[in-house]
């Protein structure tokens, strides 16, 4: 309701102002974007005269935290109510960017006409006032929580609340006038509502949300002889090497001249062999076995609560175990970021075959079109998203849209609507419709900057299903989290951290920013808890989220600038496979693998300085990750919000 409300009236408690539930709601409203609002308090006059002054002082302090420059109005008498109405009518309206550029409508009435072919689908007639922008019948209509639909026509019925009602003067007394309710009097004169617009099939926007991929599009035919000859010539040109040769040297003689750096020197061979023998010496001393120290336990008597057995009945042990495991994983990620154990049952070259090494995470090249998943064949991408957005917004400001003007009371005929939409409306759920801008019904990759809400400390893992409120849309998806930087590659984050802003990446319909973003998580009792807030950053499938894994090894024998490292790999083949990847240590040294030693994964490594015995050798590997296609526009309705102190006593409810 707050997305389409012109004014919100906050009614405060005379003693507390608002409780934890009210503070939670205010956090959501501020993050979403607050329209025009007014603060009022009711019930102060009923307090004793001595307590009224203290109550007003406490309220003003509480209001200053959230609304530092706003005046608190009283609402106890008829005169104060009149002042409040004047305040609501005369105050300046605040604008929300995501709704000012789109037409929207709050349904005052709805009627469902089932189709002849299928009783579960039909035409939904929505009546209400057009707000924001003029509404065109050829645009796509989005009903919040139910999806996108097309309109057949727009009617202009009688306005139930006209600003200037018709006045009929009596023939007997010309001085007396009588206001006639438009719903009764005008209905006789205009039985059939006036048709404003009908949809034009040639100009109507399509409901296509995804690209239908052609499985044969990636197939390659056998190259022709011309293509083979061109490739052969190109290979010859690329294989030519420029050398410095004496004047008068022929091309045949130049082939036999060696480069200076290509000559092999044998000065260090003898030293390397001796050093290799030293490395292969067996350990002279066996490692002492560690004695296990038993923890000293202290016994103490605890009074048994009478209600302990009832408390345990309400605890979900399986959920507790899962939450404990998530807390452990989050803690390990903070202590050892991205570090993983090399598996012993699977070869590292197979387990990490999709990963690669990078000389520099910031500057090393990475093609954004490389090894894309099949889901990328289903989405739409802009050639230049910023220019398209600027052009569409300019058309909205300059061109006049043909359709229902702002402020008109209209009836929209929405086609192919399922029955549950009108059933939700009959149960009292608000029915709100937004018209979409061009391309906003199409699927793409959305990137949103979000920050953790301080009121929620539960660990949130990447690819966990969350509920998104993005602008006017509401949907479920499983996001990826990544660092918010200005580089071309962004490091994947396994958890939504509380200290920094991260970027959430999901498959979702295109939305043109600016748009606010709220992330909710559905709890086991049906409630939605706010976990993060932010804004829409961009619609960009080429934004690369790079996952890093860190393999760790330990120095076994240390020499001047060389060392034997073990426990990073466990067989010789893995050492040879990852030999080109650069090594680094936690204390800032850099190096590389020279050769494997033996068959158990020991390797000889050289570094740019002497290692310390307590240092750890690390190898960084990277791969690009993509979000999971779990987009669902149908979000279950939350159970009414209750205080956290009594949340455990809420009975289980059947969710429809």
Mean pLDDT of 601-616: 88
> Please, are residues 59 and 12 in contact by the beta-carbon 8 Å criterion?
yes
Mean pLDDT of 82-96: 89
Tens-digit pLDDT profile for residues 260-275: 544 444 444 443 443 4
pLDDT at 119 over 70: yes
d(CA 334, CA 330) in angstroms, rounded, equals 6
pLDDT at 646 over 50: no
| pLDDT the model gives residue 391 | 92
DSSP-derived 3-state class of residue 531? strand
| pLDDT the model gives residue 342 | 86
Helix or strand holding residue 90 (H, E): helix 78-90
* Residues β-bridged to residue 476: 467, 632
Write down the mean pLDDT value for the chain. 80
Calculate ∠ Cα 85-86-91, nearest 5°: 110
* Residues β-bridged to residue 27: none
SS3 string, 81-129, reads: HHHHHHHHHHCCCCCCHHHHCCCEEEEEEEEEEECCCCCCEEEEEEEEE
Q: What is the chain's length?
A: 656
| pLDDT the model gives residue 629 | 92
Tokens representing 486? 């200005």
90 half-sphere exposure, CB direction, 13 A CA radius? 6
| pLDDT the model gives residue 645 | 38
Which of 143, 204, 200, 164 shows the shortest CA–CA distance to 4? 143
In this prediction, residue 187 has a pLDDT band, given cuts at 50, 70 and 90, of very low
pLDDT at 293 over 70: no
SS3 percent helix, strand, coil of the chain, rounded to 5, is 25, 30, 50
- CA 414 to chain centroid, in Å, comes to 30
- Stated pTM of the model: 0.74
DSSP-derived 3-state class of residue 401? coil
d(CA 578, CA 549) in angstroms, rounded, equals 14
pLDDT at 627 over 90: yes
Tokens representing 482? 């990544």
State phi, psi for 421 to the nearest 5 degrees.
-65, -50
Radius of gyration of the chain (CA): 35
| pLDDT the model gives residue 276 | 44
| pLDDT the model gives residue 433 | 92
Q: Classify residue 651 by its DSSP letter.
A: P
| pLDDT the model gives residue 62 | 83
- CA dihedral of 599, 601, 604, 606, whole degrees rounded to 10: 160
Mean pLDDT of 468-477: 91
In this prediction, residue 251 has a pLDDT band, given cuts at 50, 70 and 90, of low
Which of 329, 412, 492 shows the shortest CA–CA distance to 112? 412
d(CA 141, CA 138) in angstroms, rounded, equals 9
d(CA 593, CA 607) in angstroms, rounded, equals 9
pLDDT at 537 over 90: yes
> Please, are residues 488 and 476 in contact by the beta-carbon 8 Å criterion?
no
| pLDDT the model gives residue 142 | 92
566 half-sphere exposure, CB direction, 13 A CA radius? 11
In this prediction, residue 243 has a pLDDT band, given cuts at 50, 70 and 90, of low
In this prediction, residue 258 has a pLDDT band, given cuts at 50, 70 and 90, of low
- Determine what percent of the chain is predicted with pLDDT higher than 70: 78
Tens-digit pLDDT profile for residues 555-564: 888 888 899 9
d(CA 581, CA 358) in angstroms, rounded, equals 7
In this prediction, residue 141 has a pLDDT band, given cuts at 50, 70 and 90, of very high
pLDDT at 306 over 80: no
Mean pLDDT of 309-333: 67
State phi, psi for 70 to the nearest 5 degrees.
-110, 150
Q: List Cβ neighbours of 121 (8 Å cut-off, separation of 6 or more).
A: 114, 115, 416, 417, 418, 419
pLDDT at 584 over 60: yes
């Amino acid at each position: 309701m707050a997305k389409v409300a012109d004014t919100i009236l906050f009614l405060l408690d005379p003693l507390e102002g608002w409780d934890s539930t009210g503070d939670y709601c205010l956090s959501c409203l501020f993050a979403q974007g607050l329209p025009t609002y007014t603060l009022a308090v009711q019930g102060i006059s009923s307090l004793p005269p001595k307590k009224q002054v203290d109550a007003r002082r406490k309220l003003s302090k509480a209001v200053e935290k959230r609304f530092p420059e706003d005046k608190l109005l009283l609402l106890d008498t008829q005169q104060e109510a009149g002042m409040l109405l004047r305040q609501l009518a005369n105050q300046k309206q605040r604008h929300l960017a995501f709704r000012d550029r789109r037409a929207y409508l709050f349904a005052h009435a709805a009627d469902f006409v089932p189709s002849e072919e299928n009783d579960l689908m039909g035409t939904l007639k929505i009546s209400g006032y057009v707000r924001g922008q003029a509404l065109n019948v050829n645009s796509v209509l989005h009903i919040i929580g139910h999806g996108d639909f097309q309109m057949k026509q727009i009617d202009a019925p009688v306005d139930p609340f006209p600003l200037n009602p018709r006045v009929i003067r009596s023939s007997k007394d010309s001085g007396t006038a009588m206001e006639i309710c438009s719903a009764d009097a005008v209905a006789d004169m205009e039985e059939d509502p006036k048709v404003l617009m009908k949809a034009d099939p040639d100009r109507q926007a399509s409901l296509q949300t995804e690209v239908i991929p052609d499985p044969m599009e990636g197939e390659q035919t056998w190259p022709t002889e011309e293509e083979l000859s061109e490739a052969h010539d190109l290979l010859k040109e690329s294989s030519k090497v420029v050398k410095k040769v004496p004047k008068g040297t022929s091309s045949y003689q130049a082939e036999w001249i060696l480069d200076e750096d290509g000559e092999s020197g044998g000065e260090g061979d003898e030293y390397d062999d001796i050093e290799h023998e030293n490395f292969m010496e067996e350990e002279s001393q066996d490692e002492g076995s560690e004695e296990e120290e038993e923890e000293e336990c202290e016994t103490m008597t605890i009074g048994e609560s009478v209600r302990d057995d009832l408390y345990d009945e309400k605890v979900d042990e399986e959920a507790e175990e899962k939450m404990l495991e998530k807390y452990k994983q989050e803690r390990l990620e903070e202590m050892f970021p991205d570090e993983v154990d090399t598996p012993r049952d699977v070869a590292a070259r197979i387990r990490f075959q999709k990963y690669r090494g990078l000389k520099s995470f910031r500057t090393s090249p990475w093609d954004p079109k490389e090894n894309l998943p099949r889901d990328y064949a289903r989405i739409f991408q802009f050639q230049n998203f910023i220019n398209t957005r600027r052009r569409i917004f300019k058309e909205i400001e300059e061109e006049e849209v043909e359709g229902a003007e702002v402020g008109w009371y209209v009836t929209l005929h929405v086609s192919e609507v399922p029955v549950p939409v009108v059933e939700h409306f009959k149960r009292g759920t608000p029915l709100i419709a937004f018209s979409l801008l061009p391309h906003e019904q199409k699927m793409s990759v959305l990137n949103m900057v979000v920050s953790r809400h301080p009121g929620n400390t539960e660990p949130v893992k990447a690819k966990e299903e969350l509920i998104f409120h993005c602008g006017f849309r509401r949907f479920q998806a499983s996001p990826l989290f990544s660092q918010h930087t200005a580089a071309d590659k962004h490091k994947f984050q396994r958890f939504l951290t509380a200290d920094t802003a991260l970027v959430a990446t999901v498959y979702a319909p295109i939305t043109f920013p600016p748009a606010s973003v709220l992330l909710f998580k559905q709890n086991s009792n049906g409630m939605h808890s706010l976990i993060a807030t932010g804004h829409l950053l961009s619609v960009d499938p080429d934004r690369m989220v790079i996952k890093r894994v860190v393999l760790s090894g330990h120095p076994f024998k240390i020499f001047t600038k060389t060392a034997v490292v073990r426990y990073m790999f466990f067989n010789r083949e893995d050492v040879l496979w990852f030999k080109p990847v650069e090594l680094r240590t936690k204390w800032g040294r850099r190096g590389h693998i020279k050769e494997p030693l033996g068959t158990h994964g020991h390797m000889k490594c050289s570094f740019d300085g002497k290692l310390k015995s307590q240092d750890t050798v690390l190898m960084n590997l990277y791969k690009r990750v993509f979000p999971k296609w779990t987009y669902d526009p149908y979000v279950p309705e939350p159970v009414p919000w209750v205080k956290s102190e009594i949340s455990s006593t809420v009975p289980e409810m059947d969710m429809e």
